[in-house]
């Protein structure tokens, strides 16, 4: 079969399997969520939270199986040795495609606690998945543009305050907070519009990281700095579903939690500048790492 015909069959089949898998696992997920809501007891909610994670892991396992058998993706992963599912982690990653989420879930499956992603508030209305994210206690955030904040200055800092509140409930059970630091997927158009100083990355947003550290810094064991590269191929989600992405490179670097950066990001100007410099330095190194990973095919 020609590559064109193969991708024209693989894409729809992969999309169908992903949709069916999501709907299948959403049924027990919503049932457990209902039980969690109607019985407001702490110990019961912890039990339900663990059940919800088990259901989500079933969804991830089948998606990962499809990735290996249908899309036939080979993952080249380094740096995951020694990770512990009973520890707290802050995971920082570059963002190029929705494929990143499925890749990260497969890479960290049962190696660290279930990943909690920050989700744009508008996506709560996304059919099925929006409600699944809500049921899994994903923290929803409202992002405000610079232009919007100029017209509504009273809302400055509200999105970061929402980050702090979302993290408060994650203090009792080991979790992994996942942040796509750029805040959106990388595209050439966004890169040009930003005037990004990086070759492969958009400008990083430091505020969300600072607030997670402020709330969970005493619980976090490590920061996992993750770099994802799709060597020489289209990065779109459809390209992934169609089997055009055959290799994904993932580098995981464990970093100590910088205790000197557990300050007041909103009120302390000097602290905010130092923290932004630290994140920018992290991003400069990531840009060089992506260049090296893409060069070794």
- For 19-31, how does the pLDDT look when each residue is reduced to its tens digit (9 = 90+)? 999 999 999 999 9
Does residue 191 surpass a pLDDT of 90?
yes
pLDDT at 1: 47
pLDDT at 158: 62
Torsions phi, psi for 235 (to 5 deg): -105, 5
Nearest-CA neighbor of 91 among 266, 238, 219, 255?
255
Q: Angle at CA 244, nearest 5°, toward 242 and 249?
A: 125
Bigger pLDDT: 203 or 158? 203
pLDDT at 147: 62
Q: Identify the band that residue 159 occupies on the pLDDT scale cut at 50, 70 and 90.
A: low
Across residues 108-137, what is the average pLDDT? 83
Domain span holding position 250:
73-295
Contact between residue 120 and residue 208 where contact means Cβ atoms under 8 Å apart:
no
Does residue 278 surpass a pLDDT of 50?
yes
In a domain, 198, yes or no: yes
Does residue 181 surpass a pLDDT of 90?
yes
pLDDT at 145: 57
pLDDT at 5: 47
Contact between residue 118 and residue 179 where contact means Cβ atoms under 8 Å apart:
yes
In a domain, 188, yes or no: yes
In a domain, 245, yes or no: yes
Contact between residue 71 and residue 14 where contact means Cβ atoms under 8 Å apart:
yes
In a domain, 267, yes or no: yes
3-class DSSP assignment, residue 91: strand
Q: What is the pTM of this model?
A: 0.86
In a domain, 271, yes or no: yes
Maximum distance among all Cα pairs of the chain, rounded to whole angstroms: 62
Q: Identify the band that residue 133 occupies on the pLDDT scale cut at 50, 70 and 90.
A: confident
In a domain, 108, yes or no: yes
Q: How many domains does the chain have?
A: 1
Euclidean distance between CA atoms 261 and 268, whole angstroms: 11
CATH number at residue 122: 3.40.1130
In a domain, 34, yes or no: no
């Amino acid at each position: 079969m020609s590559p064109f015909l193969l991708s024209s069959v693989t894409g729809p089949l992969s999309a169908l399997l992903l949709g069916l898998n999501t709907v299948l696992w959403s049924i027990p997920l919503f049932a457990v969520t209902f039980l969690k809501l109607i019985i407001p007891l702490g110990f019961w909610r912890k039990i339900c939270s663990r059940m919800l994670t088990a259901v989500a892991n079933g969804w991830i396992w089948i998606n990962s199986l499809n990735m290996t058998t249908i899309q036939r993706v080979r993952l080249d992963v380094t740096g995951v040795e020694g990770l512990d599912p009973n520890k707290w982690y802050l995971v920082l990653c570059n963002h190029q495609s929705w494929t990143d989420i499925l890749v990260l879930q497969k890479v960290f499956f049962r190696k660290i606690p279930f990943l909690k992603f920050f989700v744009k508030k508008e996506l709560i209305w996304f059919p099925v998945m929006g409600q699944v994210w809500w049921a899994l206690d994903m923290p929803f955030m409202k992002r405000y543009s610079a232009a919007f904040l100029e017209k509504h200055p009273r809302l400055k800092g509200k999105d970061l305050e929402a980050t702090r509140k979302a993290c408060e409930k994650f203090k009792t059970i080991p979790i992994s907070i996942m942040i796509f630091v750029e805040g959106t997927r990388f595209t050439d158009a966004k890169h040009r519009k930003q005037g990004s100083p990086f070759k492969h990355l958009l400008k990083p947003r430091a505020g969300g990281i600072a607030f997670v550290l402020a709330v969970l810094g005493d619980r976090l064991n490590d920061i996992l700095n993750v770099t994802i590269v799709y060597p020489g191929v289209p990065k779109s989600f459809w390209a992934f579903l169609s089997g055009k992405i055959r290799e994904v490179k993932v580098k995981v670097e464990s970093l100590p939690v910088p205790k000197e950066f557990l300050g007041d990001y909103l009120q302390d100007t000097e602290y905010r500048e130092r923290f932004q410099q630290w994140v920018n330095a992290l991003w400069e190194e990531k840009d060089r790492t992506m260049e090296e990973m893409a060069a070794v095919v």
